[in-house]
Every structure is written in structure tokens, then in C-alpha cells.
Amino acid sequence: MKKFLVGVLLVFLMPLFSHSAQYKKEYKLSCVVGPKLLWGEGASYFAKLVKERTQGRINIKVYTAASLMAGKQTNEFLILREGVADFAFASTINWSSTIKQLNLFNLPFFFPDYAALDRVTEGYVGEELKKMIKKKGVTILAWGENGYREITNSKRPIKTPSDLKGLKIRVVGTPIFIDIMKSLGANPINMNWSEAKVAFQQGVVDGQENPVVGIEIPVKIWQYHKHITIWHYVIDPLMMSVNNKVWNSFTKEDQDIIRQAAIEAAYWEKTQVRKGLIAPDLSALDTLKKHGMTVTVLDRKQIEEFKKLTKPIYDKWVPKIGKNLVEEAEKAVDYK
Ligand code: X2X
């Protein structure tokens, strides 16, 4: 009888102690771009891995095209922190108006190649950024990538700063981008990605900057712009991330599954967006040429001409990012 009563009691009490009983039916993952871009596919791949490996206990739904924030992409960190989104596969650019330190990745001509970027994200600086973001309410699980942002326009090939002069360039509404474009002599116009394609189509702007494989090829940028300059001026990593309260609600076992899925999905996505952009395989640039674009690849000396003009950006933004963080990133970049 006693055993029976204990058994009955356990049956009723179990749900109170079992975490999975408290799990939500659906977790919302925020993504700024559409499902067909590699960025969106990376998000879906993550959701799929988590679902499979938790036997459907954790069900993540991907909300693409910035739908959780009505297109206003620079609000993404806030909606994640507040719990409107539970997860995000997010660009550092869209969060950097809220988290000043992430402007590190927006410093013009700072990351010469992918290896330098990887040393920064996977090393001390990446860890510091994670700790800092954790204190603000969000856990970063893995780094993916949007890519190096290369400038396209409908007017002329850009080889020198004078070619860029006066061109109306669409940028994300993150303050440093306005500053950078102004320092380079362009006329920046900030706009959400959700409105940008119509603006390209209607010629409201002359140009824009985005990654080749991640964005420019899938949106067929050649429909609007005939010229592209490969100048690697800024790169944006993506962060697979989760609201801290949501993260803490998972059992340790499920946290391990989710973290591992995030690492695998983000790594897959990062590998895909770099394809065709690293010599000797420059097939992504061939795709642009095939569609009639002039592809101008700047050498170090030409890049220096642009970089020189951005000194005011460093003067203004390094103190906001944190001198120490920038110096640590410089060490990682220069490491040979
Ligand atoms: O808005 C953009 O340019 C995009 C899609 O690349 C970002 O979200 C940073």
C-alpha cells in the first residue's frame, strides 16, 4: 500500500520536476533574410537538427524576412532580449546599434582575409564578446557568416575613391555605416533590407553593399547594378543565439544537443557562403561576369587609398568599441 501511494504521488509530482514538461510548443527563431538564402537555410538546418535530436521535444520555427520585428532589422537584439524571439540567427551589423562592441566587425578594411576573421571570432575576442552579450541577456552558441560586403552600383566601375563620390548607396540603419560611406565620399541612404530591393529596382539608390554568395547572387543583383568592386571593406559574422531565460529553461542534456546543432549548422552555412570566393576557386565572381557585370578586384595598394579616408571612423568608433578589444583583435589579425 505504502509503495503504491509513493508511486501515485510520483506520477503526480513528476511533471513539476521534469523540465521538458515546461517546454514551449514552439520556439521562435528570428532571421532577417528569406528562407532561400544560405543564411535562412542555415537557420532551418539548425531547427531541423534540434528537432531530430530531441525527438521533437524542441520545436524551433524560423521566422524569416525580419517578420518578428516588422522589417525593422536593427531592433532584433531587443526583441530577442525581451523574449519576442527565443532564438536568432543574426548579423552582427543588425545588433551593432544596440551593442556598440560589435562595431568591431564594421571597422573598415580591418579584416584582410577569412583566416584573420576566424582567429578573432574563435579566439579571445570572440569569447569576450560572448561574455558581454551574455550579460545583456543573450547566449551566443556559434558563429556563422553573412560575408565580406562588396559594393555594387548602376553607374560606373569603382576603382578609386573619386569613382564613389556622390553615389547614393543604400546601407543598413546602423550609425557607423552612415559615417563610413560619408568618409569615403558617397551619399549613404539607410533602409531596411525589406525595402531595399524595391529601391534598387526603382533606382532610388545607385548602389548597395552586401556579400556576393550570401546575398548578391541569390537576389540577382545584376538586374539592378552592372558594376561590382571586390574590396572586402567590412565583414559580418552571423551569430546563432538564444535568449538566456529560454536557454536556462533547457536541461543540461538538451543544451548540449542545441549547442552542437548550432555549431554544425553555423559551420555548414559559413562554409557555403565562402565557396567560390577564395582563390583558386573564384567561380562566384565568374557567375557575376556571366551575367554581364564588370568585376573590379582591388589590390592592396588600391584598398589603401580607401582605407586612408576612413581614419575619422577609427578615431570616433574605436573608443566606443573599446580600445582594448580592438587592440586584441589587431593582434589576432596580425598573428602569423
Ligand atoms: O540588410 C542587409 O544588407 C543584410 C541583409 O545584409 C543584413 O541584414 C545585414
CB contact at 8 A, 161 and 305: yes
Q: Phi and psi dihedrals of 135, rounded to 5?
A: -65, -25
| Mean predicted lDDT score pLDDT of the chain | 95
Which residue's alpha carbon is nearest to atom 6 within ligand 1?
Answer: 210
The confidence score (pLDDT) of residue 203 equals 96
Q: Which three cell numbers stand for residue 43?
A: 537557420
Helix (H, G, I), strand (E, B) or coil at 30: strand
- Give the confidence band of 22 by pLDDT, cuts at 50, 70, 90: confident
Q: Which atom of ligand 1 is nearest to the CA of 211?
A: 6
**Rounded distance, CA 192 to CA 179, Å?**
17
* The CATH number of the domain covering residues in 22-333: 3.40.190.170
**Rounded distance, CA 265 to CA 262, Å?**
5
91 lines ligand 1 (CB under 6 A): yes
Question: Which residue from 106, 194, 215, 235 has its CB within 8 A of the most atoms of ligand 1, so it is best to mutate?
Answer: 215
pLDDT tens-digit series, residues 237-288: 999 999 999 999 999 999 999 999 999 999 999 999 999 999 999 999 999 9
193 lines ligand 1 (CB under 6 A): yes
- Give the confidence band of 336 by pLDDT, cuts at 50, 70, 90: confident
Q: Which atom of ligand 1 is nearest to the CA of 170?
A: 3
pLDDT tens-digit series, residues 31-78: 999 999 999 999 999 999 999 999 999 999 999 999 999 999 999 999
Question: Which residue from 64, 210, 212, 239 has its CB within 8 A of the most atoms of ligand 1, so it is best to mutate?
Answer: 210
Which residue's alpha carbon is nearest to atom 2 within ligand 1?
Answer: 193
Is the per-residue pLDDT at 329 higher than 60?
Answer: yes
The confidence score (pLDDT) of residue 15 equals 47
- Give the confidence band of 7 by pLDDT, cuts at 50, 70, 90: low
Which residue's alpha carbon is nearest to atom 1 within ligand 1?
Answer: 193
CA of 201 to the centre of ligand 1 (A): 17
Query: pTM, whole model, 2 decimals?
Result: 0.93
CA of 223 to the centre of ligand 1 (A): 18
38 lines ligand 1 (CB under 6 A): no
Question: Which residue from 94, 217, 219, 273 has its CB within 8 A of the most atoms of ligand 1, so it is best to mutate?
Answer: 94
The answer to which of 19-23, 26-30, 107-111, 203-207 has the lowest mean pLDDT is 19-23
Strands 27-30, 87-91: pairing kind? parallel
CA dihedral of residues 282, 231, 160, 109 (deg, nearest 10): -160
Alpha helices in the chain (DSSP H): 2-17, 38-53, 76-82, 92-95, 114-122, 124-135, 161-164, 175-183, 193-201, 244-248, 252-274, 283-290, 300-309, 311-321, 323-334
The confidence score (pLDDT) of residue 76 equals 98
DSSP secondary structure of 81-105? HHTSSSEEEEEHHHHTTTSGGGGGG
**Rounded distance, CA 63 to CA 47, Å?**
11
Q: How many percent of the chain have pLDDT more than 70? A: 94
**Domain coordinates of the chain in residue numbers?**
22-333
- Other Cβ atoms less than 10 A from the Cβ of 203: the count is 10
More confident site: 6 or 263: 263
The confidence score (pLDDT) of residue 104 equals 98
Is the per-residue pLDDT at 117 higher than 80?
Answer: yes
